[in-house]
Amino acid sequence: MSYVDDAFAKLKSNLEITQTEQDTAVSRHTGIRDYVTGRWDLTDNFLTGSYRRDTKTKKLKDIDIFIVIDPDGAQAGYRAGAPGDVLDALQNLLADRWPGAYRDGMAVVIPYGKDDEIMSIDVVPAFDRKGGGYIIPDPAAGTWIATNPKRHHELSIVKNAECDGKFVPFVKMVKGINRELGEPVSPSFLLEVMAHALVKAPFGRYQDEIVLFLATTAERIDEQWDDPAGLGGNVNTVMSPTQKLAAAVALRNAQEIAERAVDLEDDEQGRAAYDEWKKLFGNRITRP
């Protein structure tokens, strides 16, 4: 392998969650799930989001928990109420144990510790959806929306297998670039959705795939990108037109840096190429 190939192998490892981080995450999310299960009538509770799909980059920042409310249980009446009602009730429940719990969008957030620790855990209340998937409260829209996070996980597994195990690390890498750039693309799940559509097997070198991905996303960041599970609609609704334009500029600048890095590597200037990649990955990439 080349000098840069070795650096990318270390980058892949550096983006992995450590055993200590994993143990802390398990302790915290298990405690929350046990607490809610002991007080509300649920049919299921499970991890979801990028942590569950193994596409979460360090620092962990947040972990998502779905709690599925029993339609015949004591909390069943929340389904007929305003979407904010169930979130208020869940916040009150969690605040009894974690006083800092607060509502944020479709979840109740439990914040943790300092920046080098898990920063928050998001608890999302849900009901089973007829026909598959789940419905979750969207208080901003005053309605309930359909989603299927378990399907997202299944699709990620399939795509990763098609790409010889390189898709999940690739998604972590492009999310890492986005974070290093100040997160111009929001939500980061949008990058994952775009990767599902744009990345094709056979998967090449990470360096070349990143150049191609940055070039394509810079051109298409303002397009509609639908939930791959087929339920959540357009994922690209968070950014305003101005923010999408800024994201396109940031992605294009990143593409130019990545292209320069590849050209330097082709000229057998591995250390100079590494210095260019470091502009995109920061301390996540280290010398081999």
The pLDDT score that the predictor gives to residue 148 is 87
Q: What is the reported pTM?
A: 0.80
Q: What percent of the chain has pLDDT over 70?
A: 93
Q: Mapping DSSP to helix (H, G, I), strand (E, B) and coil, where does residue 104 land? A: strand
Placement of tokens 């334009």 in the chain? 245
The pLDDT score that the predictor gives to residue 152 is 80
Rounded to the nearest angstrom, the gap between the alpha carbon of residue 179 and the centroid of all alpha carbons in its chain is 12
CB of 185 closer than 8 Å to CB of 221 = yes
Burial of 59 (0-12, 13-18, 19+ CB in 10 A): middle
The pLDDT score that the predictor gives to residue 113 is 67
The pLDDT score that the predictor gives to residue 60 is 55
Which residue numbers in the chain have pLDDT < 50?
A: 50-56, 116
CB of 91 closer than 8 Å to CB of 103 = yes
The pLDDT score that the predictor gives to residue 28 is 86
pLDDT tens track for 240-271:
999 999 999 999 999 999 999 999 999 999 99
